Structure formats: C-alpha cells, structure tokens
RNA sequence: GGCGGCAUAGCCAAGUGGCUAAGGCAGCGGUCUGCAAAACCGUUAUUCACCGGUUCGAGUCCGGUUGCCGCCUCCA
C-alpha cells in the first residue's frame, strides 16, 4: 500500500516518495520558548507525533527534527521584565514544554536543536545569500531581497504584485521592497548579540529553520511541517532562504495542521481564551485530549468545548471498558498457547477473522492523508465486534475464546500505539479518571467508598430499598454505580458546564 | 483589497465520480439486570447550504449565489 498525503506545495494529495528509500527526514517548527504551552501547541505536537509514529509503523527509518526558538523579541522582553537573561527564560519554558508534551504522550523528536546553538551556521548561510546577491546589508541589518528569488510565493500561492497591493505591510525605510524580510538584526542596547561580518546583532526569525533543518537533514529533505499560520510568511521565507542559497529543492512535502478554536472562537490572547495545556491535563486524561483531536482530520479546525471533551471522555471510557473486560477474562489464566487460528470455528473463527483485519483497515485510512478520524471509526467498529462477542449467550472463557480475545487486544493496542491511545492499564485508567473527576467536582472518594460499603451490606441482606436510597444519594452527586454479583464499582458522570474550559 | 478553506442527521465527524452516505455523542424501543450502569440488537440524513452545468451516473467535478472561517502583523 502506498502512502498519500496533502502537500501544501502542490495543493493536492500526492504519493509519498522519500529522497532515500526507506528513510524519512522530517522537520517541524517548534515553539518559541517564552510562555507555557497551550492546546494549540499540543495539537500540532500530537499531529506530527502521530505522523512520525505512523511512518515508523510503516517501516521507515525516521529522523524527526523539531526546533526550539530561544532567541526572539518576546523572550528578550520577558527576560527584561524578570530582570534575567534569555537563557533562563527559554530553558524554563523548554522544560515546561517537555513536561507537558511527555504527559501528552508525545515522543521526543530525534533532534531538538536550538537557535542559539546554530548562530555560526546562520551567519554562513546569510553570507552566502549576500554573496549571491539575494540579500543586502543596510546599517548592520541584512535583508532578503524577495524579488531576486523567482520562486517567491509558490508555497502560499501568492505573487509579489498581489501582496504589494495588500494594505497591511509595515513600511520600513531600510527595505528596498516592503516585502523583504530580515535575516540579521543589528543589536540595540540591552539586547543579546553575536559578532558577525555585519557587526553585532542577532538572527531574524526565519533563518534558523532553514539552517537547522538543512544542518541535520541535508539540503533537500522529505517533510517540513508546522501550523497553518506558518505557511506565510515563515515557510515561504524558509524556502526562499534555503533554495536561494543552494539552488536545490528544500523540502519536498509540506504538511500543515489546522487550528484550534475554543467554543467556536479563535483562540487568541486578545480574546483571552487561551486554553493552557497544563490546565487541560489537569481536567482531562491525555488520551481523552488525543482522542478528541484525532477524531477530526489534522487539516480541519478543531473546536474545543467542555461538551466536546466530555464526549471524548465517554468514547475513551468505551474503549477502556472493553479492554478491561478482556483483561479480566484473560486473568482466568486458561492456557491458550496451543491454539492455532485454524483450530477455531463458529463465532470464534468469525470474530478472529474480522478482528485481524483491523490493522489493514487502519493502514488504509492512515495511508490516505493520515485519516485518523476514519481509523478511529474502525477501532470503534472493532470494539463493538468484541463487545458483541462477549455479550453473546454462547460466550464462555475457553482456550479458543481467550486466544481470540488476546488477538483482539493485540490488534487494538497495536494500532492504538500509533495514535498514542490505549497505553494505560484499564484499571489504572479508571482509577485516574475517578480521582481527576472527583477533584474537579469536589467529591470525596473516601465518603463515596464508605457509602458504597454501606450499600453493599444492604445488598447482601437484600434490603433493596436501602440500597436504592444510597444509589440515589450518590446519583445526585453524579456518581454512577455499577453492580456486579458481589461488588460495586463506580464512576463519575460527565458534568458539562460545571467547569468552564477557560477561566 | 489580495490569497485560501469550509458548509454532510439534534450535536461532533469521515467521505475527493458508481455497491445500502463510516464512526462517535445524544434520543427512542428492546435484551440483560433485584433496580440501575455497562454492553448488545433495532431505530434516528430518499439526502449532503442554495441555483445552474458537465456526465450513463455527483455529497464528490465546473460556474454562480448565500453564510461562516483563516492567512496577509508575532502566533502551532
């Protein structure tokens, strides 16, 4: 099967052909380290995490580079505010970023370069552009001359004339063309600086990505990614810088993820609706957040709300309920090590046959522009199949059925791993969920357990009235009980609108 | 002003020329259960914003209309 995905450069889905067979080189624009991550950073990270994991799942050897921007106006401003230096600021937020992303189940990229570790490379690159006549120096600043690079605009689908006609370009006296962008900024007082052929200064924003990607991946590499907002000007400028210097194609494929909205509004600082990732992780299991994000296509906008996240929690519960049932049945310890697929018959054979197609269906969906939404649909199908098998009157734990359930679980977990889902032990998952929800809704777990214990006594004595009374008390607190023959488990129902997403 | 995207059931959401328009949530009916919960079964879009066109055939392609959104300034 061949992988196709949407290439922003060609504006259509294209078959993926790596530069070097069996290897994929991928660069994604990371964060500017000056503040805590929000849910939008998380979406981008999850999207490219899944893409990277899927490429590996397909057998590619993937080198994934994601940078940290650690020199920038906002970092400098923050450092001044706190009377410290940019290193301390960027190191702090890189640490926080890593902490959050680790919790989100985002695997660390192969290489995470920082801009300040690549200044020499940037200076060399800028020098090349100046030598080639693509850049010019004005009072210690170096600008890229946009009209000297004929491909300018090919990624974002613009042309210079149209852009010049646009009203919102800041006029900088030093620029020959208002669309020219800065490669090297001369240092102002109190700013960090590096020596360069043009005097003391620091790099412009775009140059770092051209230089760091090519340093680790070569002049031409496979995939370059980032958020949709980066298409213009950032990625357009990266192409101009890189191809201008080398004369060779830069990245062959460009992938851009869609944006996050909060209650149907754009998430932005001015609207004050930034959904902080640390807070999100306090309110929702990371896999709930991932499931929600991955149920939409990566290029579509995704709209966070407490309702939509509550729905995702319900969905995640469904998966883990099934995984829990399988776990419990497997715990009976019946030995199924001698069972072969050809020994199966009837329902066992039927379910086994269907469940083993899951990885193929998963790959079919993922090969089509990383269609995680469709892939998740197939996992829901598989879940219903397993639950139906388990709920059937004829179901009994036998060597054959344990063999089938074990295969089912392996298949679900195999594809789940690519999406970063079902990584938790089911009992762990529900324990964590209870704790998190109890805290969110101000409930005391000890109290709940005490009431359940009291009710259990009533139940064994068949005092149903008393048992129902306690059920009702708990129901008012959104505690839902689940009775089995000799015990009771519980969970907390979704309580939407109690907890505003963004305060 | 320029460039681009989206519009599919109550809600979310797949679907990019052709078998019955995935899947989830919510709802309803049933099975199971002391009662519940979960699960399962059944049910919920003759129709894909609207109007034309291309085609044997369109949610899917083309043109237009309406509505929503993003980028063009730092932004994932």
Asked whether residue A396 falls in the same domain as residue A248, the answer is: no
Ranges of residues in chain A with a pLDDT under 70 are 1, 165-172, 496-503
Of A371, A397, A424, the residue that ends a domain is A424
| Cα angle, residue A343 at apex, residues A338 and A348 outer, rounded to 5° | 105
pLDDT in tens, A32-89: 999 999 999 999 999 999 999 999 999 999 999 999 999 999 999 999 999 999 999 9
- Residues A483, A384 share a domain: no
Protein A307 CA to nucleic acid B24 C1', in Å? Answer: 13
Give the whole-angstrom CA distance, residue A289 versus residue A295: 10
Determine, yes or no, domain membership for A275. Answer: no
Q: Does the residue A273 lie in any domain?
A: no
Q: Is A498 among the domain residues? A: no
pLDDT attached to residue A503? 42
Q: Do A121 and A81 share a domain, yes or no?
A: yes
Cα A498 to its chain centre, rounded Å, is 27
Is residue A267, in this structure, part of any structural domain at all? no
Considering A200, A225, A257, which residue would you say is the last residue of a domain? A257
The contacts of residue A324 (CB under 8 Å, 6+ apart) are A426, A427, A430
Same domain as A477, residue A453: yes
CA-to-CA separations, A295 to A47, A244, A302, A384, A465, in angstroms, rounded: 11, 39, 9, 17, 43
Q: What is the pLDDT of residue A125?
A: 97
| Domain limit, last residue, from A370, A405, A424 | A424
Residue nearest B15, CA–C1′ metric = A374
Which nucleotide does the CA of A480 lie closest to, via C1'? B37
Query: Are A222 and A315 in the same domain?
Result: no
Distance A153 CA to B55 C1' (A): 36
Task: Let me know whether A251 and A338 are in one domain.
Answer: no
Looking at the structure, tell me whether residues A119 and A199 fall in a common domain.
yes
For the stretch A379-425, pLDDT in tens is 999 999 999 999 987 899 999 999 999 999 999 999 999 999 999 99
Asked if residue A446 and residue A404 are part of one domain, the reply reads: no
Q: What is the pLDDT of residue A21?
A: 96
Q: Is the domain of A416 the same as that of A473?
A: no
Distance of C1' in B26 from CA in A409, Å: 28
Q: Which nucleotides of B are covered by protein (CB under 7 A)?
A: 1-6, 11-16, 22-26, 33-41, 69-76
pLDDT score for A11: 85
Overall domain count for chain A: 3
User: Closest nucleotide to A42's CA, by C1' atom?
Assistant: B76
Assess if residue A371 is contained within a domain.
yes
Q: How confident is the model over A206-241, as pLDDT tens digits?
A: 999 999 999 999 999 999 999 998 999 999 999 999
- How many Å apart are CA A455 and CA A468, to the nearest integer? 8
Q: Are residues A170 and A94 located together in one domain of the fold?
A: yes
Q: Rg for chain A (alpha carbons), in Å?
A: 27
Pairing outcome for strands A260-262 and A302-304:
parallel
CA of A140 to C1' of B46 (A): 70
Q: Kindly report which amino acid residue has its CA closest to the C1' atom of nucleotide B34.
A: A464
Lookup: nucleotide whose C1' is closest to A265 CA: B69
> CATH code at A184?
3.40.50.620
Which of the nucleotides lies closest to A467 (Cα–C1')? B35
Q: Is residue A301 part of a domain?
A: no
A403 found inside a domain: yes
Nucleotide nearest to A462 (CA to C1'): B34
A415 and A383, same structural domain? yes
Does some domain include residue A269?
A: no
Question: Measured between alpha carbons, how far is residue A89 from residues A34, A53, A81, A144, A207 in Å?
Answer: 6, 31, 11, 29, 21
**What pLDDT is attached to residue A498?**
41
CATH code at position A386: 1.20.120.640
| A413 and A439, same domain (yes or no) | no
Domain that holds residue A396: 306-424
Q: Three-state DSSP class for A90?
A: helix
Rounded alpha-carbon distances, angstroms, from residue A299 to A3, A44, A260:
17, 10, 11
């Amino acid at each position: 099967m061949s992988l196709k995905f949407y290439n922003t450069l060609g504006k259509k889905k294209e078959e993926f052909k790596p530069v070097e067979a069996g290897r994929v080189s991928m660069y994604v624009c990371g964060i500017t380290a000056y503040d805590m991550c929000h849910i939008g950073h998380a979406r981008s990270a999850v999207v490219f995490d899944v893409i990277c994991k899927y490429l590996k799942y397909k057998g590619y050897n993937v080198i994934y580079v994601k940078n940290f921007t650690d020199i920038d106006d906002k970092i400098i401003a923050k450092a001044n505010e706190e009377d410290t230096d940019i290193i301390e600021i960027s190191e702090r937020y890189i640490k926080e970023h890593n902490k959050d992303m680790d919790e989100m189940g985002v695997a660390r990229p192969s290489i995470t370069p920082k801009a300040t570790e690549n200044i020499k490379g940037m200076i060399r690159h800028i020098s090349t552009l100046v030598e080639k006549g693509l850049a010019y120096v004005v009072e210690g600043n170096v600008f890229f001359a946009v009209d000297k690079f004929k491909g300018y605009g090919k990624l974002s689908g613009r042309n210079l004339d149209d852009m010049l006609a646009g009203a919102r370009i800041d006029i900088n006296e030093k620029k020959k063309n208002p669309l020219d962008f800065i490669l090297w900024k001369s240092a102002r007082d109190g700013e960090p600086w590096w020596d360069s052929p043009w005097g003391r200064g620091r790099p412009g924003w775009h140059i770092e990505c051209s230089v760091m990607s090519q340093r680790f991946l070569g002049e031409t590499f496979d995939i370059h990614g980032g958020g949709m907002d980066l298409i213009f000007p950032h990625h357009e400028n990266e192409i101009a810088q890189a191809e201008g210097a080398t004369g060779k194609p830069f990245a062959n494929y460009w992938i851009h993820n869609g944006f996050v909205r909060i209650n149907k509004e754009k998430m932005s600082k001015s609207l004050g609706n930034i959904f902080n990732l640390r807070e999100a992780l306090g309110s929702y299991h990371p896999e709930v957040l991932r499931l929600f994000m991955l149920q939409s296509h990566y290029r579509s906008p995704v709209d966070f709300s407490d309702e939509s996240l509550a729905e995702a929690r319900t969905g995640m519960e469904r998966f883990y309920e099934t995984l829990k049932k399988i776990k419990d049945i497997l715990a009976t310890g019946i030995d199924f090590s001698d069972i072969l697929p050809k020994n199966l018959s009837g329902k066992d054979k039927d379910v086994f046959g269907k469940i083993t197609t899951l990885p193929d269906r998963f790959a079919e969906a993922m090969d089509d522009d990383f269609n995680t939404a469709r892939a998740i649909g197939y996992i829901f199908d598989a879940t219903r199949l397993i639950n139906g098998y388990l709920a059937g009157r004829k179901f009994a734990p036998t060597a054959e059925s344990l063999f089938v359930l074990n295969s089912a679980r392996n298949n679900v977990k195999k594809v789940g791993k690519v999406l970063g889902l079902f990584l938790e032990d089911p009992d762990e998952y529900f324990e964590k969920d209870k704790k998190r929800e109890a805290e969110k809704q101000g409930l005391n777990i000890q109290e709940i357990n005490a009431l359940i214990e009291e009710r259990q006594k009533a139940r064994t004595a068949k005092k149903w009235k008393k048992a129902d009374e306690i059920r009702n008390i708990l129901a008012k607190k959104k505690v839902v009980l689940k009775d089995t023959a000799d015990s009771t488990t519980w969970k907390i129902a979704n309580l939407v609108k109690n907890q505003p997403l963004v305060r």
